[in-house]
Amino acid sequence: MLSHSQSESSPLLTATSSQKQIQVAATETQRRGGHHGSASLSQTIINEAKTCMGTGCLALPYAARVGGIWLHVIGIFAVGLWNLYSVTRLCQCLQLLPKEAILEEDDDSSRQDDDDDDVEKNEDLQPVVEMASPCHHRPTTSSLDSEASASRQQQSAPTPNSHNHANSKTIPVVYPPPPPGTSTYSRVAWYAFGPLGLYTLDLLMATLFIGVVVAFVDATRGFLRDTPFTTGSDILDAMAIAAIIGPMSAVPDMGYLAKASATGLGVLFFSFAVIAAYGLFDNSNPDANNDASWNWYPENGVEGVSTWFGCLVFGYGIAPLTYNFRESMTEPTQMVQASSVALLIVASSYVLLGVGLYLLFPNVDGDVLRMLPSQGWLPIIIRLGMAVVVFVTAPLLIVPCGQLVEGKIVKISAASHIDVPYRVRATVRMGIALTCVTISVMVPGFVSVLSLVGCASVATVGFVVPPLLYLRLNLLTQNKLSWTIALDVFMLLWGTVATGISTSYTFRNVIGSQV
């Protein structure tokens, strides 16, 4: 009986004329793990860039002030490379999973249907495979897996898209298959650390998604508060926000949000162009106070560095969503390439926005919108534009959060969330939106929430967990030390220390602001 992932490649088998091509097709199918969506490379780049560049950009001038210009410029690209390292390691973790882990959920979701019409499918597929293969029998699941494994072992050098580190081994099956509907990130944690790893990562991911969306909603309420579009009630404003972002999030996967992401990026750059124009006009005013100096080095030492890190790391949210973006792509093997381009765009934009606006507003304290007057049509347009940015950014986080929850409710294939009933999908994601807006009313203060969530959740899941998982899987595979192991140990320790120090300082600031 052929599995679902193999049946997807049967048109390719029809078109092939050699056993080598069959091996290539089987290898590609296994490497993808059957997980692919509708997003192209460019659409994924746009989605990744938009995920990073949200309302967190408003805190970039403040981050440049407390961290200093030198640290801001150098650190932005360093943190970007750090994110790329995490994305690469997470993609490489898939190469270390047992073969059973790659196809098990596709097998589970399609086994019942295959049992019902197995004879009919075999009769249909028999001539197809025989035409493509010089052997006079139909390849079974085990034979295709063996051919794919042999093909990988014959490749002495990794291809640009494989990111395989020449590891032909996979870990032994230590644990039974994870529960149906488990996300890919959690499945990797399951095979690395068992049930404890799965449930711990699920908790971290849920905390990350909820915390970041809470910060977005909290910022949006602040935007609307100074416009005629406010209801005058924080609760009603929050409910209106949920009514917008909830239905927008009821899409099958993140690939469907590419056009909205492109619109959000356009609105974002337009808004910051208007802010910069206002700053230039204000500084040209003879009555303006231009005596403020610029900080080239961190303000208040380690405390300034930790606050800078908290604001900046919140603006790099690609690593925790690696598998979500990867599974939304038509070519999942291009995930690292897409992340490289997206992170370069984001880092360059952050340098321009952070340093440029800090030079225009050297006294900035908090988000840069506070430097604008509350009256007049121009500030209102900017605030409404930033609200639109939130409306198209929040679904990029609610969608993976919803997929995490839906997998626990409905037994579905991890390869495609399109099979989830729309009613279930809409209910779950609307519930997430309502939960976030409720919390946002209880936790005011945009920049404080921004820094705390950025240091605690995003840094942990994005910088600490990836090297930890790769180390565990790699040690289970090789059981020997290498230079890559030393690098991963260093990155794990550095990520843990940086996250701990930054979170402690930021937590003290949040507590102090509430007193």
C-alpha angle 233-236-238 in degrees, rounded to nearest 5: 105
Decide if 38 contacts 331 (C-beta within 8 A): no
Measured distance CA(8)–CA(11) in Å, rounded: 7
Positive/negative CA dihedral, 153, 159, 162, 163: positive
Contacts of residue 140, Cβ cutoff 8 Å, sequence gap at least 6: none
Decide if 402 contacts 429 (C-beta within 8 A): yes
Measured distance CA(434)–CA(450) in Å, rounded: 19
Higher pLDDT, 449 or 41: 41
Residue 508: in which H helix or E strand, if any? helix 483-514
Q: What DSSP string describes 137-157?
A: S---HHHHHHHHHHHHHH--S
Query: Is 21 inside a domain boundary?
Result: no
pLDDT confidence of 159, banded at 50, 70, 90? very low
Give pLDDT, residue 29: 39
When the pLDDT of each residue in the chain is averaged and rounded to a whole number, the result is 75
Give pLDDT, residue 408: 74
Is the pLDDT at 457 greater than 90, yes or no? no
Name the range with the highest mean pLDDT among 27-36, 96-105, 143-152.
Answer: 96-105
Query: Is 169 inside a domain boundary?
Result: no
Decide if 382 contacts 371 (C-beta within 8 A): no
Decide if 328 contacts 321 (C-beta within 8 A): no
Over the stretch 461-476, which tens digit does the pLDDT of each residue have?
888 999 999 999 988 8
| Beta-ladder partners of 329 | 39
pLDDT confidence of 498, banded at 50, 70, 90? confident
Range in 73-87, 223-237, 280-294, 419-433 the model is least confident about:
280-294
Decide if 314 contacts 56 (C-beta within 8 A): yes
Mean pLDDT of 234-238: 85
Range in 41-50, 130-139, 198-207, 287-296 the model is least confident about:
130-139
Decide if 60 contacts 357 (C-beta within 8 A): yes
Decide if 146 contacts 371 (C-beta within 8 A): no
Phi-psi bin for 98: left (phi > 0), alpha (psi -120 to 50), beta? beta
Domain range for 358: 34-98+192-514
Q: Which of 81, 52, 109, 100 is nearest to 325 (CA)?
A: 52
C-alpha angle 105-108-111 in degrees, rounded to nearest 5: 140
Give pLDDT, residue 22: 36
Which pair of tokens denotes residue 231? 């209801």
Share of the chain above pLDDT 70, in %: 69
Mean pLDDT of 111-115: 42
Over the stretch 14-72, which tens digit does the pLDDT of each residue have?
344 444 443 433 343 344 444 567 788 999 999 999 888 887 788 899 989 988 899 99
Is the pLDDT at 164 greater than 60, yes or no? no
Domain count, the chain: 1
Strands (E), 293-386: none
Give pLDDT, residue 422: 80
pLDDT confidence of 484, banded at 50, 70, 90? confident
Q: Which amino acid is at 399?
A: V
Contacts of residue 233, Cβ cutoff 8 Å, sequence gap at least 6: none
Decide if 118 contacts 385 (C-beta within 8 A): no
Q: What is the dihedral of CA 505, 302, 206, 321, to 10 degrees?
A: 170
Mean pLDDT of 397-424: 71
Higher pLDDT, 121 or 81: 81
Q: Which of 156, 160, 167 is nearest to 97 (CA)?
A: 167
C-alpha angle 266-234-369 in degrees, rounded to nearest 5: 40
Q: What share of the chain is helix, strand, coil (3-state, %, to 5)?
A: 75, 0, 25
Query: Is 124 inside a domain boundary?
Result: no
pLDDT confidence of 346, banded at 50, 70, 90? very high
Mean pLDDT of 234-247: 88
Decide if 330 contacts 38 (C-beta within 8 A): yes
Measured distance CA(408)–CA(182) in Å, rounded: 7
Give pLDDT, residue 116: 42
Mean pLDDT of 418-439: 83
Query: Is 464 inside a domain boundary?
Result: yes
Q: Which of 406, 408, 409, 411 is nearest to 429 (CA)?
A: 406
Judging by beta carbons within 10 Å of its beta carbon (0-12, 13-18, 19+), is residue 147 exposed, middle or buried?
buried
Measured distance CA(408)–CA(333) in Å, rounded: 27
Give pLDDT, residue 448: 62
Give pLDDT, residue 340: 96
Decide if 459 contacts 317 (C-beta within 8 A): no
Rg (C-alpha) for the chain, rounded Å, is 25
Measured distance CA(43)–CA(49) in Å, rounded: 10
Higher pLDDT, 282 or 188: 188
Give pLDDT, residue 128: 33
Say what the pTM is: 0.74
Decide if 331 contacts 337 (C-beta within 8 A): no
Measured distance CA(481)–CA(500) in Å, rounded: 27
Give pLDDT, residue 168: 47
Range in 33-47, 310-324, 446-460 the model is least confident about:
446-460
Give pLDDT, residue 510: 63
Contacts of residue 46, Cβ cutoff 8 Å, sequence gap at least 6: 258, 261, 262, 265
Domain harbouring 510, CATH code: 1.20.1740.10
Is the pLDDT at 158 greater than 50, yes or no? no
